[in-house]
Amino acid sequence: MAHQLRLLLAALRAYTRFPFIRRAPGAKSDDIARAGDALRYLPLAGLLVAIAQSVVYMLASIVLPHAVALLLAIGAGLILTGACHEVGWVRFCATLGEQPAARDSDACATNSTTDHATDSANRYPTDIASDSASDSASANWALPGAIGIMLLLMLRFESLAHLDADWIAASLICSATFSRACAVLGAPRASATDALIAMLLGAVPLALLANWTDDHLPGLLGLSIALISTALVRRLIRRSGALDAGATDKIGAGFDAATHTATRTATHLGAVQQIAEAGFLIGLLIALEAGPDDTLSTDDEMDFEQ
């Protein structure tokens, strides 16, 4: 039990930025290393962040419009996670934007860092021009990541903006927990036990949502689209080699096996979590938009009675 509690605290410290958690007694310098073993508790980290986002939204919505309150809640989520999952999504999108030849040249450049450092004193104007072209290629490399995160944040905001205010807290909590459970599926360092525990933890808010609304359709549709999105992203990662390419992304001479594994895990978690969260919100929105409209105005009631 004590070991599981340490794993839970390691997950919270690695995947959230709550000051009271990071200053809690028992913090150790190897929390980041242990975070790979604590992936099973990633949905609980998402739950804590989503609860804080819900509080921010409810307080802001008292004096601010619905859309502004949502933006503040999304911003609070980015701050409380350090945008760690968004960074993984950006790396994934940027890697997809690379050409295979560019990936190979980056790998060669990484392996020959020492040689370049040795020859740095003997440089010609053509070498400087080559470096300028490399900087331009790096800018092109970053553009797909910037576009990807912009579109995803807009999709998240628009999905939440079209939901009724009474559904915001439930949507934030369910999407945050279940999307992180999806991210654990197939993660490089996750075992079958980790995936099972994460899925059970991610399904609990969905069960509570169904009990609260007496309607299983929103949760089931959101779950289904999130799982389909997870499968598609994982297949795309495998086919494109984005996970291996993203793991060696511009890490230079400090690259080692531990860094490789940690970056692989971060890239997978970020890419899958972000797209699964968007898929869940879209499924929830479809279910609510397609559901029966129980709102009936007074004039409609009078016409119906006549």
Contact 98, 249 (CB under 8 A): no
> What pLDDT was estimated at residue 295?
42
Enclosing domain of residue 158: 36-107+141-289
User: Is 217 within the bounds of a domain?
Assistant: yes
pLDDT at 36: 63
Domain assignment present for residue 9? The answer is: no
Question: Quick one: tokens of 305?
Answer: 């009675």
Most confident of 126-130, 243-247, 274-278: 274-278
Distances (CA, A) of 175 to 19, 178, 194, 284: 24, 5, 19, 9
Q: Does position 281 have pLDDT exceeding 70, yes or no?
A: yes
Tell me the average pLDDT across 185-190. Answer: 80
Environment class of 70 (CB within 10 Å of its CB; exposed 0-12, middle 13-18, buried 19+): buried
Has residue 199 got a pLDDT over 50? yes
- Cβ proximity of 173 and 53 under 8 Å: no
Amino acid identity at 179: S
pLDDT at 75: 96
Average pLDDT, the chain: 77
Greater confidence (119 vs 291) lies with 291
What is residue 36's DSSP assignment? G
Residue 134 lies in a domain: no
Structure tokens at 88: 């993984």
Amino acid identity of 74? I
Does any domain span residue 11? no
> Taking residues 24-50, what's their average pLDDT?
74
Q: How far is CA 9 from CA 35, 88, 296, in A?
A: 9, 22, 49
Higher pLDDT, residue 63 or 261? 63
- Residue that has been written with the tokens 């008292």 in this structure: 62
Assess contact for 56 and 73: CB atoms under 8 A: yes
> What pLDDT score does 109 carry?
47
Q: What is the structure's pLDDT at 262?
A: 65
Residue 123 lies in a domain: no
Number of domains present in the structure of the chain: 1
Q: Is pLDDT of 4 > 50?
A: yes
Predicted confidence (pLDDT) at residue 139 exceeds the cutoff of 80: no
Region 12-25: mean pLDDT is 79
Query: How many Å apart are CA 202 and CA 181, to the nearest integer?
Result: 5
- pLDDT at site 115: 45
240 has a pLDDT exceeding 80: no
Highest mean pLDDT of the ranges 11-15, 21-25, 145-149, 165-169:
165-169
Position 264 confidence tier, pLDDT thresholds 50, 70, 90: confident
Amino acid at 90: V
CB contact set of 197 (below 8 Å; sequence gap of 6+): 40, 41
Q: Point out the least confidently predicted range of 143-152, 197-206, 211-220, 235-244.
A: 235-244
Find the range with the poorest average confidence among 3-12, 82-91, 288-297.
288-297
**47-61, 232-246, 248-262: range with highest mean pLDDT:** 47-61
Residue 210: inside a domain, yes or no? yes
**H or E element: which one contains 282?**
helix 257-290
CA R_g for the chain: 22
Phi-psi map region of 241: left, alpha, beta (phi>0 left; psi -120 to 50 alpha): left
Q: For 59-116, how does the pLDDT look when each residue is reduced to its tens digit (9 = 90+)?
A: 999 999 999 999 999 999 999 999 999 998 988 888 876 655 445 544 444 444 444 4
Higher pLDDT, 268 or 245: 268
The answer, yes or no, to whether residue 303 has pLDDT greater than 60, is no
Is the per-residue pLDDT at 216 higher than 60? Answer: yes
Q: 199: burial class by Cβ within 10 Å (0-12, 13-18, 19+)?
A: middle
Q: Kindly state whether residue 153 falls inside one of the protein's structural domains.
A: yes
Task: Judge whether 208 lies within some domain.
Answer: yes
Cα distance between residue 84 and residue 49, in whole Å: 13
Q: Region 264-279: what's the mean pLDDT?
A: 88
